[in-house]
Chains A and B, each alone.
Chain A
Amino acid sequence: MPPRLNLFAARTAVPVLRQPSAPSASQRCIASALRRNAAQGTKSGFQSSVGVRVQRRWNSSASDGKTPEEAQRQAESMPHVSEEAAEINKIMHKEGNGTRSSPELEQGTPVSEILQRDEEARKHAPKVFQDQMKNGSSGSGSRFFSTSARRGQLEQQSTGRSEDQASAALVESMISQVTQQAVDLTPGLKFDAPGTLSRSDNFRKRYEPLLEQFTKLLMRDGKLAMAQKNMSIILDHLRSSPPPSINYKRSLLPGPPPPQLPLNPVLYLTLIIDSVAPLIKLRNQKGIVGGGASVQVPAPLPERTRRRTAIRWIIDASDKRRDSKFAQRVAAELVAVAEGRSGVWEKKEHAHKLAVAGRVNVGFKQRTAKFFM
Chain B
Amino acid sequence: MVSSFCWSCLTRLRQTPRTVLPSPTAVPRGPAFHTSAVRFFPNPMMRKKPGQELGGPKYRQSKSARMKKKKPVDGKARPPPVGERKALRKRIVLSNPNALEVEGMQELTEETMVDSRLRGNVLALPVPMLDQLRAVQAFKPKQGWSIFRRPGTVLRRETLEMGRLFDNISGVGEDKGTAVKKIITGSRKSGKSVHLLQAMAMAFTKKWVVFTVPEAQDLVSATTGYGPLSDENPNLYVQNEATASLLSRTLIANKTILSKLQVSRIHPALSAVQPGMTLENLAKFGVQDPASSWAVFQALWAELTATSATTGLEKNFTPRPPILVTVDGLAHWMRNSEYRTTEFEPIHAHDLVFVRHFLSLLKPGKDESTLPNGGALLYATSTSNNPSIYSFEVALKQVAARHAGVDPSAPEFPKLDPYSNPDSRVLEAFISTKPTSAQEGMLEVQTIGGVSRDEARGFMEYFARSGLLRETVNDEWVGEKWTLAGGGVIGELERLGRRLRVAAA
Chain A contacts to B: CB under 8 angstroms? 200, 203-208, 211, 235-236, 239-243, 262-266, 291, 319-320, 322, 324-325, 328, 371, 373
Contact = CB atoms under 8 A, between A and B. Distances in A.
Nearest to A324: B80
A242 B88 CA distance: 19
Interface stretch (B91-99, B129-137, B239-247, B277-285): B91-99
A328 B79 CA distance: 15
A329 to B, nearest CB: 11
B172 interface: no
A328 B91 CA distance: 14
Contact of A200 (B98, B100, B501, B505): B505
Given A235-B500, A264-B470, A373 B6 contact: yes
B3 to A, nearest CB: 10
A262 to B, nearest CB: 4
Contact of B505 (A203, A265, A320, A373): A203
B147 A373 contact: no
B84 interface: yes
B500 A240 contact: no
Question: How would you classify the secondary structure of chain A's contact residues: helix, strand, loop or mixed?
Answer: loop
Most buried by A among B467, B468, B500: B500
A256 to B, nearest CB: 12
A320 B85 contact: no
B472 to A, nearest CB: 16
Nearest to A243: B98
A262 B99 CA distance: 8
A154 B505 CA distance: 35
A264 B98 CA distance: 10
Interface in B446-505: 467-468, 470, 500-503, 505
Given A263-B467, A263-B468, A264-B470, A206 B98 contact: no
Contacts of B505: 200, 203-205
A236 B500 contact: no
Nearest to A325: B88
Nearest to B34: A373
A206 B97 contact: no
B10 interface: no
Given A203-B505, A320-B73, A324-B85, A242 B500 contact: no
A319 B75 CA distance: 9
Contacts of B470: 264
Contacts of B467: 263
Nearest to A206: B502
Contacts, number: 59
A242 B99 CA distance: 11
A190 to B, nearest CB: 18
B98 A263 contact: yes
A373 B79 CA distance: 62
10 contacts: A239-B99, A239-B147, A239-B468, A240-B147, A263-B468, A266-B501, A324-B84, A324-B88, A325-B88, A373-B6
B502 A263 contact: no
Contacts of B96: 239-240
A241 B99 CA distance: 11
Contact of A325 (B85, B147, B502): B85
Chain B interface bracket (under 10, 10 to 19, 20 to 34, 35 or more): 20 to 34
Give the 4 A-B residue pairs with the shortest CB-CB distance, closest first. A324-B80, A262-B98, A240-B96, A319-B73
A309 to B, nearest CB: 17
Contacts of A264: 470
A56 B99 CA distance: 64
B98 A371 contact: no
A263 B80 contact: no
B2 interface: yes
Interface of B is mostly: loop
Interface centre among B100, B470, B503 (most CB of A within 10 A): B503
B318 interface: no
A235 B96 CA distance: 13
A263 B464 CA distance: 11
A371 B73 contact: no
A240 B146 contact: yes
B52 interface: no
B84 A373 contact: no
B385 interface: no
A229 to B, nearest CB: 11
A373 B239 CA distance: 92
B256 to A, nearest CB: 32
B416 to A, nearest CB: 38
A197 to B, nearest CB: 12
Contact of A208 (B85, B146, B468, B503): B503
Contacts of B93: 240
A262 B98 CA distance: 7
A319 B49 CA distance: 38
Nearest to B89: A325
A198 to B, nearest CB: 10
A240 B98 contact: yes
Nearest to B98: A262
A373 B80 contact: no
A242 B502 CA distance: 24
A305 B261 CA distance: 70
Contacts of A203: 505
A212 to B, nearest CB: 10
Contacts of B99: 239, 263
Contacts of A242: 97-98
Interface in B236-274: none
A263 B463 CA distance: 11
Contact of B146 (A236, A319, A324): A236
B86 to A, nearest CB: 10
Nearest to A259: B98
Contacts of B6: 373
Interface in B16-37: 34, 36-37
Q: Which interface residue of B2, B84, B98, B100 has the most chain A CB atoms within 10 A?
A: B98
Contact of A320 (B37, B75, B146, B147): B75
B502 A208 contact: yes
Interface string B33-66: 0101100000000000000000000000000000
Nearest to B146: A240
A263 B79 CA distance: 34
B500 A266 contact: yes
A211 B36 CA distance: 56
Contacts of A324: 79-80, 84-85, 88
A200 B467 CA distance: 30
Best-surrounded residue of A208, A235, A242, A263 (most CB of chain B within 10 A): A263
Nearest to B72: A319
Q: Pick from B6, B84, B502 the residue with the most CB of A within 10 Å.
A: B502
Nearest to A373: B6
B91 to A, nearest CB: 11
A240 B95 CA distance: 9
Contacts of A206: 502
